Structure 1
Amino acid sequence: MTDSKPQLHLTAFMRPVSLHTGAWRYPGSYPDANFNFKHLTYFIQKLEAAKFDAFFMADHLAVLNMPVEALKRSHTVTSFEPFTLLSALSAVTEKIGLAATASTTYDLPYHVARRFASLDHLSNGRAAWNIVTTGNPESSHNFGFNEHMAHGDRYKRAREFYDVVTGLWDSFADDAFSRNVETGEFFDPAKLHVLNHSGDELKVRGPLNIARPPQGWPVIVQAGQSEPGKQLAAETAEVVFCSPKDIEGAKALYADIKDRVEKAGRKREQLKILPAAMIIVGDSKEDAQEKRLKLDSLVHYDSAIASLSIALGTDASVFDADSPLPTDLPETNASKTAREGVERLAKREGLTVRQIAQRYGGYSGLAFLGSPSDIASEMETWLKEEASDGFTCVFPFLPQGLEEVTDRLIPELQRRGLFRQDYEGSTLREHFGLERPQNQFFNEAN
């Protein structure tokens, strides 16, 4: 029987295997983890044994647009194409969800619908589609375009794209395939729907040439935090991947998106909000902080100081690297939010310019550091105060950082009743407590 106490949902951000630029250099880590199937198999099986909801793969359609001196130090340059990898990983797992990014700007809905339906069948109902509109302008040059599509136009296309993909998933009724060897009828034509979509952005006839996915529709994930992104999430998403900097910002975002969900005529509980959070487990907060400083120190200073200069809007390379951040920074037109964030960090943690730069050049997002008890308490606060429904876990380095979460943090969360002891179902929708969508074109009660 399901415990009535709210529980955390946890997904693992695994492409790249760590977002931190220095992760591949950390002592004992696997430098080739992004592109080594043996390692990735080990990671996902550890996550499944820990009962994670899903293994989440982001994706890029171009090499990241950064100076080559910084790019050459990044472990994100190459990685597997998500569908190829997740299809292979579906064969070595049984319960954990398999989430992949697919672009609505540089792909076509028929391709996306077919790939996710196939993955859902291969995995017996564990697929999830992370809808992205693709922010990197360099991607346009890989698809025959001279310019990147404007932000508003990308979201307009994404909304229609969603309608087409979900319509294609509903091409066949769930019971369309009779496979009657006596009569010779493989499927019932009355249970086939031709979409015939013709909209402002897309024209797709259909039907999809694959049976309806086991989940009805693969789980829909959305990652935008802009106004159009939040509205798209409210209308379409079942899981939101986001990146607030602190609990107050997270609570405001949570309330905003959940309110939009209700206004869109949907149930609040049918959308889960899972902020990204890097988790560093230690024997104490001080121990975890030492690991963080060691990790940050592995970010090369040349690329780190460039990241800090962007955040401050001024050339930080002229500052003394091993002294505190100057308090008399010149006024600029840079983002005040970013600059104030740097100044708060410098004051709060007493970091030198070098340490601040390496933080911004490595990973500057939300992070939980401490003992398993410390981190569990912090996560429980976020859950109780409606700042999140769980987290998208970012691992600082692999395999150690992942193992410390699965072997030390998860048992503490389970002891407190904050995380499942075992999977209660077999599909990703069941893990998240999501309803199975009704077919839009067929009365499935008949």
Structure 2
Amino acid sequence: MTKQIRLAAYLVGSGMHVASWRHPLAQPDASISINALIEQAKIAEQGKFDFVFAADSLAVNHTSHPQILNRFDPVVQITALATATTHIGIGATSSTTYGEPYILARQFASVDHISGGRVGWNLVTTADATGETAQNFSRDKHWEHDHRYDRAEEFIDVVKGLWDSWEDDAFIYNKETGTFYDKKKVHEVGYQGTHFTVKGPLNIARSQQAQPVIIQAGSSIPGQRLAARTAEVVFTSWDTMERAQQHYTQLKSQLATYGREHDDLVVLHAIAPIIGRTAEEAHAKYEELQQLVDPYESLKFVSGYMGNVDFTQYDLNTPAREVVFPHVNSIQSNFNEMKAIMDKEDLKVGDLYQRFFKPARKDHFIGTPTQIADEMERWVMAEATDGFMIQFPLMPRDLQDFVTYVVPILQARGLLRKEYEGTTLREHLGLKKPQNQFVTLTVGGKSYD
């Protein structure tokens, strides 16, 4: 059987391109318009995507992407999307650094029930180079990278324990006997760790897919360790296929350490395709977006990704390798890769947005539908990824073009489903339904915890 390409659509209002909101086709307030976001989710569902995804940030400043400045809480957003769609999965970000396990477990379990088992939780430790998020949560400073991951390790164990509070058949609802639930089939977590003490049980049953799908994006050493142990979907974004292949192999090879198999983890590489009837038309669409970019506004966006440095203080012709960086307490894998490129290539400060955040970067995802499909197939067959987190530059135009022109090609090649065969996000992604950790599994007369 031909390997299936997994697809997710990143919902960020008018699009991922920093100037998307200025485009004549854009709805500038799309990030705060539930009707616009529902339309995008429905287009993705028409294209048989595995899921749509809502990111988050807990602080904004003048370096923030325009669509981040004004947007919904992602858990509230996916609740609305759950009631407006029927099959497509819906993922949302929530922080382990600025949240509590019990509240998060209850929120995501609730939406998982509302959606019929279609939810994923994107676990983040929150990248915050400026420390402004901490100031929104009565803290003096943003915790250091490794400390955040130590907390995340405990956080996810508590959450998964809470999701297992009730066995699948715990609620009996027997009107004749007056038995609402079986007391033997409810479990307290009783967690006591360095960061958390949580009694449990959670006050909501396991969902149709047992637990929401766990999504992560960390590529640092602690991030990879956490992902190999607990993640079921991992987002990546590498500059070349070769680097993506290295990470893919490195991450998948760590699964066995935790008793997991190759297909227990789905890797999705970020791309930003622009499609035209001809390659020239596709590139013209890209240039049209680029003409809307204010160079210093785009540098603010770069600053937010590269750590606590203000690129706007430099002349656009300053060699990028001359930029001085203070201590970085943000997304280390992104920073390390981008800094290595700045040191190696002859870039000017004014080149940075186009080099790092333009649709396609150094790959080949601007072109005709066949060119896009060819490149997607090439990446998956080379085991650089299992699929794609698609960050469409201009929404909903580029999403609709992809569904109209690229999806039929992938379907004709047997690389993408023509209809949803399951109802849950786990079924879409080919992931197992987790065994309840408090239940002893009996197979062939033998018991397994």
Q: Above 0.5 in TM-score?
A: yes
Match of 1:437 among 434, 438, 447: 434
Tell me, yes or no, if structure 1 residue 183 matches structure 2 residue 208.
no
Shift of 1:215: 1.1
Q: 1:253 & 1:421 partners in 2: Cα distance?
A: 30
Shift of 1:338: 3.5
Q: 1:283 & 1:107 partners in 2: Cα distance?
A: 46
Could you say which residue in structure 2 is the equivalent of 1:406?
A: 403
Q: 2:276 & 2:344 partners in 1: Cα distance?
A: 24
Q: 2:28 & 2:312 partners in 1: Cα distance?
A: 33
Q: 2:368 & 2:320 partners in 1: Cα distance?
A: 36
Q: 2:229 & 2:136 partners in 1: Cα distance?
A: 30
Unmatched 5+ stretches in structure 1 = 320-325
Q: Would you say how many aligned residue pairs link Structure 1 and Structure 2? A: 426
Report the 3-state secondary structure (helix = DSSP H, G, I; strand = E; otherwise coil) of the residue aligned with 2:180. coil
Match of 1:49 among 35, 38, 46: 46
Match of 1:115 among 107, 110, 113: 107
Match of 1:359 among 338, 354, 358: 354
For the structure 1 residues 286 and 444, does the alpha-carbon distance in structure 2 shift closer, same or farther, using more than 3 Å as the test?
A: same
Could you say which residue in structure 2 is the equivalent of 1:317?
A: 315
Q: 1:249 & 1:385 partners in 2: Cα distance?
A: 12
Which amino acid is 1:124 matched to?
A: G
Tell me, yes or no, if structure 1 residue 426 matches structure 2 residue 426.
no
Q: 1:210 & 1:383 partners in 2: Cα distance?
A: 38
Could you say which residue in structure 2 is the equivalent of 1:390?
A: 387
Shift of 1:304: 3.2
Could you say which residue in structure 1 is the equivalent of 2:142?
A: 148
Which amino acid is 1:111 matched to?
A: I
Could you say which residue in structure 1 is the equivalent of 2:116?
A: 124
Could you say which residue in structure 2 is the equivalent of 1:259?
A: 253
Is the contact between residue 18 and residue 298 of structure 2 (CA under 8 Å) also seen in structure 1? Answer: no
Shift of 1:195: 1.0
Could you say which residue in structure 2 is the equivalent of 1:341?
A: 341
Where does 1:210-225 land on structure 2 (aligned, <5 Å)? 210-225=204-219
Q: 1:244 & 1:82 partners in 2: Cα distance?
A: 25
Is the contact between residue 29 and residue 398 of structure 1 (CA under 8 Å) also seen in structure 2? Answer: yes
Match of 2:56 among 47, 54, 59: 59
Tell me, yes or no, if structure 1 residue 80 matches structure 2 residue 77.
no
For the structure 1 residues 177 and 404, does the alpha-carbon distance in structure 2 shift closer, same or farther, using more than 3 Å as the test?
A: same
Superposition CA RMSD, Å: 2.6
CA shift digits 1:156-209 (9 cap, x unpaired):
110111110000011011000010000000000010101111111100000000
For the structure 1 residues 414 and 154, does the alpha-carbon distance in structure 2 shift closer, same or farther, using more than 3 Å as the test?
A: same
Give aligned-pair identity as a percent: 40
Shift of 1:74: 2.0
Where does 1:240-319 land on structure 2 (aligned, <5 Å)? 240-304=234-298, 317=315, 319=317
Shift of 1:83: 1.3
Shift of 1:75: 2.7
Which amino acid is 1:106 matched to?
A: Y
CA shift digits 1:368-427 (9 cap, x unpaired):
111010011111111111000000011111121111111111111111111111111000
Between 163-172 and 75-84, report the one with greater CA deviation.
75-84
Could you say which residue in structure 2 is the equivalent of 1:90?
A: 82
Match of 2:93 among 85, 88, 101: 101
Unmatched 5+ stretches in structure 2 = 326-334, 444-449
Where does 1:222-233 land on structure 2 (aligned, <5 Å)? 222-233=216-227
Report the 3-state secondary structure (helix = DSSP H, G, I; strand = E; otherwise coil) of the residue aligned with 1:113. helix
Report the 3-state secondary structure (helix = DSSP H, G, I; strand = E; otherwise coil) of the residue aligned with 2:272. strand
Could you say which residue in structure 2 is the equivalent of 1:40?
A: 37
Q: 2:339 & 2:224 partners in 1: Cα distance?
A: 25
Which amino acid is 1:94 matched to?
A: T
Q: 2:359 & 2:132 partners in 1: Cα distance?
A: 23
TM-score normalized by structure 1?
A: 0.89
Q: 1:104 & 1:329 partners in 2: Cα distance?
A: 34
Q: 1:342 & 1:299 partners in 2: Cα distance?
A: 21
Report the 3-state secondary structure (helix = DSSP H, G, I; strand = E; otherwise coil) of the residue aligned with 2:195. coil
- 4+ long deviations beyond 3 Å: 304-316, 328-347, 360-367, 443-446
Which amino acid is 1:423 matched to?
A: Y
Which amino acid is 1:141 matched to?
A: Q
Match of 2:367 among 367, 370, 376: 370
Which amino acid is 2:417 matched to?
A: R
For the structure 1 residues 342 and 365, does the alpha-carbon distance in structure 2 shift closer, same or farther, using more than 3 Å as the test?
A: farther
Could you say which residue in structure 2 is the equivalent of 1:138?
A: 132
Tell me, yes or no, if structure 1 residue 7 matches structure 2 residue 1.
no
Q: 1:432 & 1:330 partners in 2: Cα distance?
A: 41
Q: 2:311 & 2:85 partners in 1: Cα distance?
A: 47
